[in-house]
Protein backbone atom coordinates (compact mmCIF):
# COMPACT_ATOMS: atom_id res chain seq x y z
CA UNK A 1 0.00 0.00 0.00
CA UNK A 2 1.79 3.13 -1.27
CA UNK A 3 1.88 5.96 1.27
CA UNK A 4 1.12 3.78 4.31
CA UNK A 5 3.85 5.75 6.06
CA UNK A 6 5.03 9.26 5.16
CA UNK A 7 7.76 11.61 6.43
CA UNK A 8 8.30 15.19 5.28
CA UNK A 9 11.45 17.26 5.75
CA UNK A 10 11.60 20.60 3.94
CA UNK A 11 11.67 19.83 0.24
CA UNK A 12 11.65 16.02 0.62
CA UNK A 13 8.88 13.48 1.09
CA UNK A 14 9.65 9.85 1.96
CA UNK A 15 6.73 7.50 1.31
CA UNK A 16 6.68 3.89 2.45
CA UNK A 17 4.89 1.02 0.77
CA UNK A 18 5.30 -1.80 3.26
CA UNK A 19 3.12 -4.23 1.36
CA UNK A 20 4.64 -3.64 -2.09
CA UNK A 21 5.63 -6.82 -3.87
CA UNK A 22 9.21 -5.67 -4.54
CA UNK A 23 10.21 -8.92 -6.24
CA UNK A 24 8.29 -11.10 -3.80
CA UNK A 25 5.32 -11.11 -1.44
CA UNK A 26 4.99 -8.03 0.78
CA UNK A 27 8.72 -7.25 0.78
CA UNK A 28 8.05 -3.52 0.72
CA UNK A 29 9.70 -0.47 -0.75
CA UNK A 30 10.14 3.25 -0.05
CA UNK A 31 10.23 6.24 -2.39
CA UNK A 32 11.93 9.61 -1.96
CA UNK A 33 10.41 12.63 -3.71
CA UNK A 34 11.87 16.13 -4.01
CA UNK A 35 10.07 19.39 -4.65
CA UNK A 36 10.79 21.08 -7.99
CA UNK A 37 12.16 17.79 -9.39
CA UNK A 38 11.05 17.79 -13.00
CA UNK A 39 9.58 21.30 -12.90
CA UNK A 40 8.52 24.11 -10.58
CA UNK A 41 6.23 22.88 -7.77
CA UNK A 42 6.43 19.33 -9.12
CA UNK A 43 7.14 16.54 -6.63
CA UNK A 44 9.33 14.10 -8.58
CA UNK A 45 10.74 10.75 -7.51
CA UNK A 46 14.49 10.91 -6.91
CA UNK A 47 15.14 7.57 -5.23
CA UNK A 48 13.43 4.18 -4.98
CA UNK A 49 14.68 2.07 -2.08
CA UNK A 50 14.48 -1.65 -1.29
CA UNK A 51 16.18 -3.61 1.45
CA UNK A 52 19.33 -5.27 0.13
CA UNK A 53 18.43 -8.39 2.11
CA UNK A 54 14.67 -8.20 1.48
CA UNK A 55 12.55 -11.28 1.96
CA UNK A 56 8.85 -12.07 1.75
CA UNK A 57 6.69 -10.45 4.45
CA UNK A 58 9.42 -8.07 5.69
CA UNK A 59 7.06 -5.08 5.22
CA UNK A 60 10.00 -2.78 4.54
CA UNK A 61 8.63 0.78 4.48
CA UNK A 62 5.95 0.24 7.11
CA UNK A 63 7.50 3.17 8.98
CA UNK A 64 9.72 5.93 7.62
CA UNK A 65 11.58 8.99 8.88
CA UNK A 66 13.90 11.69 7.59
CA UNK A 67 16.64 13.31 9.67
CA UNK A 68 18.77 15.74 7.68
CA UNK A 69 20.75 13.70 5.17
CA UNK A 70 19.47 10.35 6.43
CA UNK A 71 16.43 8.23 5.66
CA UNK A 72 15.27 5.72 8.27
CA UNK A 73 13.04 2.90 7.09
CA UNK A 74 11.40 0.30 9.32
CA UNK A 75 10.91 -3.35 8.42
CA UNK A 76 8.90 -5.03 11.21
CA UNK A 77 8.89 -8.46 9.57
CA UNK A 78 12.68 -8.71 9.07
CA UNK A 79 13.86 -12.10 10.32
CA UNK A 80 17.60 -11.38 10.73
CA UNK A 81 17.85 -12.26 14.43
CA UNK A 82 14.75 -14.46 14.61
CA UNK A 83 11.22 -14.61 13.28
CA UNK A 84 9.71 -11.13 12.80
CA UNK A 85 12.26 -9.40 15.05
CA UNK A 86 12.23 -6.36 12.78
CA UNK A 87 14.93 -3.96 11.70
CA UNK A 88 15.56 -0.30 10.98
CA UNK A 89 17.57 0.59 7.89
CA UNK A 90 19.47 3.86 7.54
CA UNK A 91 20.26 5.31 4.10
CA UNK A 92 21.92 8.53 3.03
CA UNK A 93 20.01 10.73 0.59
CA UNK A 94 21.56 10.84 -2.88
pLDDT digits 0-9 by tens, 1-10: 788 899 999 9
Domain that holds residue 13: 5-92
The number of folded domains in the chain is 1
Residues of the chain with pLDDT under 70: 22
pTM: 0.87
Helix (H/G/I), strand (E/B), else coil: 47? strand
Residue 22 pLDDT: 67
Residue 20 pLDDT: 79
Distance CA(49)–CA(41), nearest Å, equals: 23
Residue 5 pLDDT: 95
Distance CA(25)–CA(40), nearest Å, equals: 37
Amino acid sequence: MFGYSVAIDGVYILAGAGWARGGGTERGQAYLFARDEGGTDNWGEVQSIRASDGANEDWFGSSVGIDGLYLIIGSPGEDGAGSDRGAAYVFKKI
